[in-house]
Amino acid sequence: MVHVLADGRIVETGGPELALELEQHGYAWLKDRVPPEKVA
């Protein structure tokens, strides 16, 4: 099981295929999955 965290939150979870994708393409494609910070 692979978990990708951004800003302390899990933004993607997967198996070996996710690990291979990260090795091939890096993490930049995940930046759009990080939710914007809530303004208090």
User: What is the per-residue DSSP string for 1-39?
Assistant: -EEEEETTEEEEEE-HHHHHHHHHH-SGGGGGGSPPPPP
Identify the pLDDT of residue 37.
66
Q: How many CB atoms lie within 10 A of CB 37?
A: 7
Digit-coded pLDDT (tens) for 19-31: 999 999 999 888 7
Digit-coded pLDDT (tens) for 1-21: 999 988 888 889 999 999 999
